[in-house]
Structure 1
Amino acid sequence: MTDLAWAAAQLKARQPDHSLPQGLYTDQRAFAFDLEAIYRQSWLMAGMECELPDPGCYLAFSIGDWPVLVVRGKDGTLRAFHNTCRHRGSILCQNGYGSAPKLVCPYHRWTYDLDGSLFAAGRMGEQFDKSAHGLSPVALRVVAGAMFICLAADPAPFDEFGERFSAYAGPLDFSQLKLAATDLLVEQANWKLVMENARECYHCPTGHPELSQSFPVHMSRHFDAFRNPQVEAFNASMDAAGLPHTAIEGPWWQIARFALNPGSTSISMDGEPLCTRPLTRANGGDVGSLRWAIDPHMFAHATADYVIVFSCMPVGPQETHVFSRWYVHKDAVEGVDYQLPALKELWLKTNMQDKELAENNQRGVLSPGYRPGPYSLEAEALVARFTDWYCSLAQDYVAAHD
C-alpha cells in the first residue's frame, strides 16, 4: 500500500463527530502526509510585522523540515522566501531573528539583495545569468500588522479573512506593538492532539484553575453567550464603542470578541491588566478578548493591554513545538509599565498544563485499546470543526494526487 493509499484508508475510516483513527495520531506516514497535505497547503501566521521594524531585519523559522525566511527590504516591503540558497541549497539564515544589509550564504558566499535577487556569485563564468537565480518566493500577506504565509503554489483564498481580520483587529492597531517575550515548549504529542486540546475548554475548569479566574471556561463554540445578561451588556458596550464582536468563521479561520469573567479586563492571574500602557482605551479598557484562530496551527488573544499568540509546528509523528509570543504597546517600558514574569505567568502555567494533558493523551492513543470516541458537540464543537476541516483538506489532497 502506498503512503497516499494508506492515508486515504485512514481518512475513510473516520467516524463523523469522533476523534481520528489511531494511525493519524501515531504513524510516521501521517506526519509526512500532514506536512504536504495540510501545512504546505495552508495559510500560517508567521508573526507580527513589528518584529521586523527596519530594512534588513529578518525572521527565519521552520515548518516541519522546510526553512522559511521573512525579510524587510530596503523599500520597507516585507517579503518571504524559501530559506535555501539557489546554488546548492544551503540554509542562508539560521532560525531566529537577525539583521543584515544583504543575505549571504555561509557555504560559498552567494549574496542576495533583500528583495531576493542574486547580487553576487563568484567564479560562475561570463554566461551565468544572475537574474535566473534569485531566491524562491513564498506567498506573504500582511494584514492589520500581522504576517501570514503560505507555501502552496496556488494558495487558498485569503481576502475574506484579511478583510474581516482588519475590521476586528484594526481598533487595537497592531502596528504599534512590540515583541515583549517568547517561549518554546517541546511536547511529546502529535500536533493534531495539541491543536484539539487548544480548540476546546471542556478540560479547562479542572485543567486550568488559574486561567478560569478571568477566562469564561464554561462557554461553548465561539464563546456563545446563551442570553447571559452580563455578556449581552458587554456586546452592547462593544457596539457603542464601534468594536465588532460577533463570532464569524471561514473554511480555515475563526474570529470573535468575547467578554471575560465579571470584574476581569485582562486574561491574567487576577483579571487585572498586565501592562499600564494599553493598546486601546475604548470602553475604559474593558474590551474583553479578541480571539482569532487559524487551522492548522494557532490561536491568539488580544485584550486591551497585551496580545498572546500560540502556534504549533509538527516536528515528528509524536513531537510538536509550541511557540508563544507576547506583545505589548511599543512605548511600554519593561519594569515600569509591565513586569515580564507577570506578563508570562498565566500562559506559561496554562501551556505546561496543556503539555501534560496532550502528552497523556498521546500515551493513551498509543494503546491497542484505543478506539475513536465521540466529541461533546456542546463543549467540543470547535474540535469537531477542526477534525472535519482536517479530513476535508486531506481528502482533497488525496483526490488531487491519486
Structure 2
Amino acid sequence: MTAPTVGAAPAETVDDLVARRVAGQSLEAPFYTSPEVYQRDLDVIFARNWIFVAAAAEVPEPGDYVTIDVGAYSVIVVRDDDEEVRAFHNVCRHRGSRLLQERQGAVGNIVCPYHRWTYGVDGKLMFAESQPPTFDKSCFSLRSVHVRNLSGLVFVCLAQEAPDDFDAVAEVVAPHLAPYELDRAKVAVSYDLQEAGNWKLVMENNRECYHCDGHPELTTAYFPLFAYEPEDITPRLKPLYDRYVKAAGALAEVRAAHGLPLTDHRELDTRVVGYQLSHLPLDGEGKSFAPDGAAVCTKLLGSVQDAAFGDLSLHMQPNSWFHLLSDHAVVFSVLPTSTGTSVLRTTWLVHPDAVEGVDYTLDALTAVWRATNDQDRALVAGTQAGCANPGYLPGPYSMVEDDVEAFVNWYVTRLREASA
C-alpha cells in the first residue's frame, strides 16, 4: 500500500477557481472542462436563475406545449385554457414517470403513460384510478415552475424562490418589444444545433463581434461595431463607421416617429437578471438580414410601419439573445448538455398572416443565421479543444470585448454568491 504524500496540496475546488479569477482575462481551463464546474453551473446558474426556454408563439393555442431538458430537470411549458402560459415539472405526482416525451406537441389533457393519471393543462389532477375515498386530488397537482411571458418571450426559473428583479427588467424592456407583437407572431421554423463546446463558450462567442470578419453573410447587413467607441475605430473600419453613424441617425428619427423609447440599456453584470438592449441600424437598405440589408418577408411584424426599422438586439443572462427586425424576429437559447457540449436552439418568427412561399421563403429567411451559427459552431469547437490543451493559459480581453467580460463577471458573481 502506498503511503500518502506528506504535505500534498489539497484538491482544487470550484470555489478556489472562482476566488482567483482575474478580471479582464478569459477563464481558466477547468471552467470549460471540469465535471465539478459543470455540475455547479447546473445547480447555481440554470437551477436558480431565469432562463429563456421558448417563444410564446411555440405554444399558440390552448393545449400546445414544449418540453425543455436542463440537466436532470425536464419542464413542460403549456398554454392553458385561459390562454395563459404555464410551466410544470415534467413528473407525474404518482410514482414519478415522465409525462410528455416529445419536444413539442398538443394535448387536451396531460396523461401519464404509466398509470393514466390525468392532469388538466392548468396542472390540476383530474383522474387517478383506484384511489381510496379519502384521496384528495387537489393535493396532487403538477408542481409548478416559475414562468414569465415577457412580450412573447418565455422564461422559467426552477428555484423555489426566483430572483425578484425580473419584473423590474421587464418594465424597461417591454415598451421596446411592444411594436413587434411577438405574442401574436407565428413560428416559421426552428432548429437545434449541437455544439462541441461548453455552454459558456457559446455565450462568450455571441457576446462579441471581434471575430465578425468570419461572418461574411451577416456583415453585409449587420454593422460589427456595437461594442466600439469612436477611439476604437481603426483606419480600416473608418468607412464602415461613417456609414454606421449615418444609418444610426436615420434610425433614431424612425424610432422617434413611432414614439418608441430612445434610450438603450446595459445592465449585464450589475443585477441578477442581467440584460442589454440596443436598437441598432442595419447597413444598406436597413431592413433585414438579407444581402445589403434587404427585406426577407413582405409582411411587417406587429404594428411596425417602416421596413427600415433596424435591429432591436436584446441580450439576457445567462443563456439567450434576440434580434427583432421589421419583418421577422430570431430568438436564440443555449442549454448545457455535458461538460464539453451544449445545444443552440434558433427560432424564426414572422407575422401570423405571412405565408411561406408567398411572403417569404425559408431559404431567404434563415440563410444568414444558419451560416453564422455554423461558422460559430466551428469557432466554439476549436476553442473548446484549445481550452482542454495543457498549453492553454487565460488571455486578456480586447477593448471591444466588454460584453464578454460582463458575461463572465455576471457568471462568476453568481457562483461566488451561492458559496457565500
Alignment-derived partner of residue 254 in structure 2:
237
CA deviations on 1:31-62 (whole Å, 9 max, x unpaired) are 11101110111112222222222221111121
Normalising by structure 2, we get a TM-score of: 0.90
Deviation of residue 159 (structure 1)?
Answer: 1.1
- The answer to whether structure 1 residue 313 and structure 2 residue 330 are counterparts is no
Aligned with residue 158 of structure 1, among 166, 170, 179:
166
Q: Does 1:194 align with 2:202?
A: yes
Match of 1:358 among 380, 402, 407: 380
**Range 123-132 or range 55-64, more displaced:** 123-132
CA 1:167–1:10 in structure 2 vs 1: closer, same or farther (change >3 Å)? same
Q: How does 1:23-172 map to 2 (within 5 A)?
A: 23-156=30-163, 157-172=165-180
Instruction: Give, in whole Å, the separation in 2 of the partners of 1:198 and 1:220.
Output: 12
What is residue 419 of structure 2 aligned with on the other side?
398
Letter in 2 for 1:238: R
Whole-Å separation in 2 of the counterparts to 1:221 and 1:118: 54
1:351/1:202 Cα in 2 relative to 1: closer, same or farther (>3 Å)? same
Give the TM-score taking structure 1 as reference length: 0.94
Contact 2:88-2:123 at 8 Å conserved across structures: yes
Q: Distance in 2 between matches of 1:276 and 1:32?
A: 46
Query: SS at 2:381's partner residue?
Result: helix
Aligned residue identity for 2:288: S
1:247 counterpart residue number: 264
In structure 2, the residue corresponding to 1:149 is in which secondary structure? strand
Looking at structure 2, the residues matched to 87 and 306 of structure 1 have their Cα atoms a distance apart, in angstroms, of 43
- Tell me, yes or no, if the aligned pair for 1:238 and 1:283 is still in contact at 8 Å: no
| Within-5 A mapping of 1:280-295 | 282=304, 284-295=306-317
Counterpart amino acid of 1:389?
W
Tell me how large the CA RMSD over aligned residues is.
2.1
Q: Per-residue displacement from partner, 1:129-165 (whole Å, max 9, x unpaired)?
A: 2211111100111122222211111111211211122
Q: Which of 339, 344, 348 pairs up with 1:326?
A: 348
Structure 1: which 5+ residue stretches go unaligned? none
Cα separation, 2, equivalents of 1:143 and 1:193: 26
**Which portions of structure 1, spanning 4 or more consecutive aligned residues, are displaced by more than 4 angstroms?**
221-227, 280-283
Q: 2:280 aligns with which of 243, 252, 258?
A: 258
Identity %: 37
Give 1:320 deviation, angstroms.
0.5
Shift of 1:21: 1.4
Shift of 1:2: 10
Instruction: Pick one of 16, 20, 34 that aligns with 1:13.
Output: 20
Of structures 1 and 2, the larger Rg is shown by 2
The residue number in structure 2 matching 1:382 is 403
Who is 2:6 aligned against? Answer: none
Cα deviation for residue 278 of structure 1 reads 0.9
Q: Is the Cα–Cα contact under 8 Å of residues 302 and 351 in structure 2 kept in the other structure?
A: no
Instruction: Give the Cα separation in 2 of the matches to 1:370 and 1:256.
Output: 34
Given that 1:221 and 1:381 are in contact with CA atoms closer than 8 Å, whether structure 2 keeps it comes out as no
Task: Tell me the CA shift for residue 280 of structure 1.
Answer: 5.3
CA contact (8 A) 1:55 1:75 kept: yes
Cα distance in 2 between the residues matched to 1:61 and 1:231: 38
> Deviation at 1:254?
1.2
- Cα distance in 2 for partners of 1:280, 1:266 equals 15
Alpha-carbon distance in structure 1 between the residues aligned to 2:228 and 2:97: 44
Structure 1 residues 328, 12: CA separation in 2 closer, same or farther (over 3 Å shift)?
same
Say whether the 8 Å CA contact 1:13–1:21 is kept in structure 2: no
Per the alignment, residue 301 of structure 1 pairs with 323
Q: Distance in 1 between matches of 2:305 and 2:58?
A: 28
Contact preservation (8 Å) 2:286, 2:309: no
| Contact persistence 1:280–1:305 (CA under 8 A) | no
Change (3 A) 1:219 1:48: closer
Deviation at 1:107, TM superposition (A): 1.1
Per-residue deviation, 1:325: 0.2
User: What SS is found at the alignment partner of 2:219?
Assistant: helix
Name the counterpart of 2:4: none
Any stretches of 5+ residues in structure 2 without a counterpart?
1-8, 233-240
